[in-house]
Amino acid sequence: MVAAALPMTGEQRADLSRTAASSTLPHRLVMQARALLWAGDDVANEEIARRSGVDSDAVRRWRV
């Protein structure tokens, strides 16, 4: 089963983009924001996990 693209508004995408580009926020938050942006771009959970260096279960939890 493949997860559908994560729906988000333009405002949500802008907020996630700012977080993903931050050099002062905790690394975990930056990685989670990047993962959610990829999910919004319809990247598979397994690929997001590989890019993020986390388990695919973590990606599934972030998408909730």
Q: For 18-64, how does the pLDDT look when each residue is reduced to its tens digit (9 = 90+)?
A: 999 999 999 999 999 999 999 999 999 999 999 999 999 999 999 88
This model's pTM is above 0.75: yes
* d(C-alpha 4, C-alpha 23), whole Å: 30
Mean pLDDT of 1-27: 94
Q: How many residues does the chain have?
A: 64
Count of C-beta atoms within a 10 Å radius of residue 16: 20
Report pLDDT for 34: 97
Report pLDDT for 7: 95
